[in-house]
Amino acid sequence: MSLTPISDSELLEQFRNPITKEKAYTSLIKKYQEKLYWHIRRMVVQHDDANDVLQNVLIRVWKGLEKFREDSQLYTWLYRIATNESLTYIEQQKKKSSVSFSDVETGLSNKIKADENFDANKVEWKLQLAIQQLPEKQRVVFSLRYYEEMPYEEMSRVLETSEGALKASYHHAVKKVEDYMLNH
Protein backbone atom coordinates (compact mmCIF):
# COMPACT_ATOMS: atom_id res chain seq x y z
CA MET A 1 0.00 0.00 0.00
CA SER A 2 1.55 3.33 -1.04
CA LEU A 3 1.40 6.15 1.48
CA THR A 4 0.21 9.49 0.20
CA PRO A 5 2.26 12.20 1.89
CA ILE A 6 0.13 14.50 4.00
CA SER A 7 -0.41 17.94 2.50
CA ASP A 8 0.96 21.06 4.17
CA SER A 9 -2.51 22.49 4.74
CA GLU A 10 -3.59 19.28 6.48
CA LEU A 11 -0.45 19.39 8.60
CA LEU A 12 -1.17 22.94 9.64
CA GLU A 13 -4.77 22.15 10.45
CA GLN A 14 -3.77 19.18 12.58
CA PHE A 15 -1.05 21.20 14.27
CA ARG A 16 -3.55 23.82 15.35
CA ASN A 17 -5.66 21.15 17.05
CA PRO A 18 -4.23 20.44 20.52
CA ILE A 19 -5.19 16.78 20.23
CA THR A 20 -3.29 16.16 16.99
CA LYS A 21 -0.57 18.78 17.44
CA GLU A 22 2.29 16.44 18.29
CA LYS A 23 1.33 13.93 15.62
CA ALA A 24 1.27 16.70 13.01
CA TYR A 25 4.61 18.01 14.19
CA THR A 26 6.16 14.55 13.92
CA SER A 27 4.74 14.18 10.41
CA LEU A 28 6.16 17.56 9.44
CA ILE A 29 9.61 16.58 10.67
CA LYS A 30 9.52 13.30 8.76
CA LYS A 31 8.39 15.10 5.62
CA TYR A 32 11.06 17.81 5.60
CA GLN A 33 13.93 16.54 7.75
CA GLU A 34 16.25 15.38 4.97
CA LYS A 35 15.80 18.40 2.76
CA LEU A 36 16.46 20.76 5.65
CA TYR A 37 19.34 18.68 6.97
CA TRP A 38 21.26 18.64 3.71
CA HIS A 39 20.67 22.32 3.11
CA ILE A 40 22.16 23.02 6.54
CA ARG A 41 24.95 20.45 6.21
CA ARG A 42 26.24 22.00 2.98
CA MET A 43 26.55 25.26 4.89
CA VAL A 44 28.18 24.03 8.08
CA VAL A 45 29.88 20.87 6.74
CA GLN A 46 30.07 18.68 9.87
CA HIS A 47 27.21 16.43 11.01
CA ASP A 48 27.31 17.51 14.66
CA ASP A 49 27.04 21.17 13.69
CA ALA A 50 24.28 20.40 11.19
CA ASN A 51 22.40 18.43 13.87
CA ASP A 52 22.63 21.35 16.32
CA VAL A 53 21.38 23.80 13.73
CA LEU A 54 18.60 21.48 12.56
CA GLN A 55 17.35 20.98 16.10
CA ASN A 56 17.30 24.75 16.62
CA VAL A 57 15.34 25.08 13.40
CA LEU A 58 12.76 22.47 14.41
CA ILE A 59 12.29 24.01 17.87
CA ARG A 60 11.66 27.36 16.22
CA VAL A 61 9.15 25.67 13.92
CA TRP A 62 7.31 24.22 16.92
CA LYS A 63 7.08 27.64 18.52
CA GLY A 64 6.17 29.57 15.40
CA LEU A 65 4.01 27.22 13.31
CA GLU A 66 0.76 28.15 15.04
CA LYS A 67 1.21 31.75 13.90
CA PHE A 68 2.33 30.83 10.39
CA ARG A 69 0.19 32.99 8.12
CA GLU A 70 0.27 30.80 5.01
CA ASP A 71 1.02 33.81 2.83
CA SER A 72 3.96 31.77 1.55
CA GLN A 73 4.52 28.05 1.09
CA LEU A 74 5.36 26.11 4.22
CA TYR A 75 8.63 24.83 2.81
CA THR A 76 9.63 28.41 1.89
CA TRP A 77 9.18 29.35 5.52
CA LEU A 78 11.09 26.30 6.71
CA TYR A 79 13.99 26.99 4.36
CA ARG A 80 14.09 30.60 5.51
CA ILE A 81 14.43 29.52 9.12
CA ALA A 82 17.05 26.91 8.22
CA THR A 83 19.08 29.42 6.19
CA ASN A 84 18.95 32.07 8.90
CA GLU A 85 19.90 29.60 11.61
CA SER A 86 22.82 28.31 9.51
CA LEU A 87 24.11 31.81 8.85
CA THR A 88 23.68 32.72 12.51
CA TYR A 89 25.58 29.60 13.51
CA ILE A 90 28.46 30.44 11.17
CA GLU A 91 28.49 33.99 12.53
CA GLN A 92 28.66 32.68 16.09
CA GLN A 93 31.52 30.33 15.18
CA LYS A 94 33.34 33.31 13.72
CA LYS A 95 32.89 35.32 16.91
CA LYS A 96 33.83 32.39 19.16
CA SER A 97 37.11 31.84 17.39
CA SER A 98 37.69 35.58 16.89
CA VAL A 99 39.00 35.06 13.40
CA SER A 100 38.42 36.85 10.15
CA PHE A 101 35.84 35.63 7.73
CA SER A 102 38.31 34.14 5.33
CA ASP A 103 39.69 32.03 8.17
CA VAL A 104 36.21 30.73 8.82
CA GLU A 105 36.10 29.62 5.22
CA THR A 106 39.47 27.93 5.65
CA GLY A 107 38.14 26.38 8.81
CA LEU A 108 35.22 24.89 6.90
CA SER A 109 37.56 23.65 4.17
CA ASN A 110 39.65 21.97 6.85
CA LYS A 111 36.54 20.35 8.24
CA ILE A 112 35.80 18.93 4.79
CA LYS A 113 39.32 17.57 4.53
CA ALA A 114 38.98 16.12 8.03
CA ASP A 115 35.98 14.00 6.99
CA GLU A 116 36.85 10.31 7.28
CA ASN A 117 35.68 9.68 3.74
CA PHE A 118 37.43 12.66 2.17
CA ASP A 119 39.12 11.93 -1.13
CA ALA A 120 40.83 14.88 -2.83
CA ASN A 121 40.79 13.07 -6.17
CA LYS A 122 37.05 12.71 -6.27
CA VAL A 123 35.23 15.49 -8.06
CA GLU A 124 32.35 15.50 -5.52
CA TRP A 125 34.77 16.41 -2.71
CA LYS A 126 36.43 19.01 -4.87
CA LEU A 127 33.01 20.56 -5.47
CA GLN A 128 32.41 20.84 -1.72
CA LEU A 129 35.77 22.58 -1.29
CA ALA A 130 34.92 24.90 -4.17
CA ILE A 131 31.56 25.80 -2.60
CA GLN A 132 33.23 26.72 0.70
CA GLN A 133 35.29 29.37 -1.13
CA LEU A 134 32.11 31.31 -1.84
CA PRO A 135 30.91 34.10 0.44
CA GLU A 136 28.26 32.74 2.79
CA LYS A 137 25.19 34.24 1.11
CA GLN A 138 26.43 33.27 -2.31
CA ARG A 139 26.96 29.79 -0.95
CA VAL A 140 23.30 29.67 0.07
CA VAL A 141 22.17 30.85 -3.35
CA PHE A 142 24.35 28.29 -5.06
CA SER A 143 23.15 25.49 -2.81
CA LEU A 144 19.46 26.31 -3.26
CA ARG A 145 19.71 26.62 -7.02
CA TYR A 146 22.23 23.90 -7.81
CA TYR A 147 21.09 21.19 -5.39
CA GLU A 148 17.44 22.05 -4.74
CA GLU A 149 16.78 23.57 -8.19
CA MET A 150 14.66 26.11 -6.37
CA PRO A 151 12.93 28.65 -8.67
CA TYR A 152 14.23 32.17 -8.27
CA GLU A 153 10.77 33.34 -7.29
CA GLU A 154 10.76 30.99 -4.30
CA MET A 155 14.37 31.77 -3.48
CA SER A 156 13.50 35.45 -3.45
CA ARG A 157 10.97 34.74 -0.67
CA VAL A 158 13.39 32.54 1.25
CA LEU A 159 16.25 35.02 1.14
CA GLU A 160 14.18 38.21 0.84
CA THR A 161 16.33 39.36 -2.05
CA SER A 162 15.30 40.37 -5.55
CA GLU A 163 15.28 37.74 -8.28
CA GLY A 164 17.70 39.77 -10.38
CA ALA A 165 20.24 39.92 -7.59
CA LEU A 166 19.88 36.18 -6.99
CA LYS A 167 20.43 35.36 -10.65
CA ALA A 168 23.54 37.50 -10.76
CA SER A 169 24.80 35.95 -7.54
CA TYR A 170 24.23 32.41 -8.82
CA HIS A 171 25.89 33.07 -12.16
CA HIS A 172 28.97 34.47 -10.40
CA ALA A 173 28.99 31.54 -7.98
CA VAL A 174 28.90 29.00 -10.80
CA LYS A 175 31.82 30.74 -12.48
CA LYS A 176 33.87 30.75 -9.27
CA VAL A 177 33.13 27.12 -8.50
CA GLU A 178 34.02 26.04 -12.03
CA ASP A 179 37.25 28.03 -11.95
CA TYR A 180 38.22 26.43 -8.65
CA MET A 181 37.59 22.95 -9.95
CA LEU A 182 39.55 23.56 -13.11
CA ASN A 183 42.53 25.02 -11.25
CA HIS A 184 42.76 22.60 -8.30
Q: Where do contacts with other proteins occur on this chain (CB under 8 A)? A: 18-19, 21-22, 25-26, 29-30, 33-34, 37-38, 41-42, 45, 47, 51, 54-55, 58-59, 62, 115-119, 122-125, 127-128, 145-147, 149-151, 167, 171, 174-175, 177-178, 181-182
Angle (CA) 153 11 150, round 5°: 20
Q: Minimum distance between the CB of residue 65 and other proteins, rounded to whole angstroms?
A: 12
Determine if residue 145 is left, alpha or beta; phi over 0 gives left, psi from -120 to 50 gives alpha, anything else beta.
alpha
CB nearer to other proteins: pick between 101 and 147: 147
d(CA 32, CA 12): 14
CB 140, CB 87: distance < 8 Å: yes
How many CB atoms are located within 10 Å of the residue 50 CB? 21
Q: Minimum distance between the CB of residue 109 and other proteins, rounded to whole angstroms?
A: 14
CB 138, CB 173: distance < 8 Å: yes
CB 86, CB 53: distance < 8 Å: yes
Q: Minimum distance between the CB of residue 98 and other proteins, rounded to whole angstroms?
A: 27
CB nearer to other proteins: pick between 1 and 18: 18
Q: Minimum distance between the CB of residue 46 and other proteins, rounded to whole angstroms?
A: 9
Q: Minimum distance between the CB of residue 88 and other proteins, rounded to whole angstroms?
A: 19
CB nearer to other proteins: pick between 104 and 129: 129
d(CA 25, CA 65): 9
CB nearer to other proteins: pick between 22 and 100: 22
CB nearer to other proteins: pick between 99 and 148: 148
CB 134, CB 142: distance < 8 Å: yes
Task: Supply the DSSP symbol for 156.
Answer: H
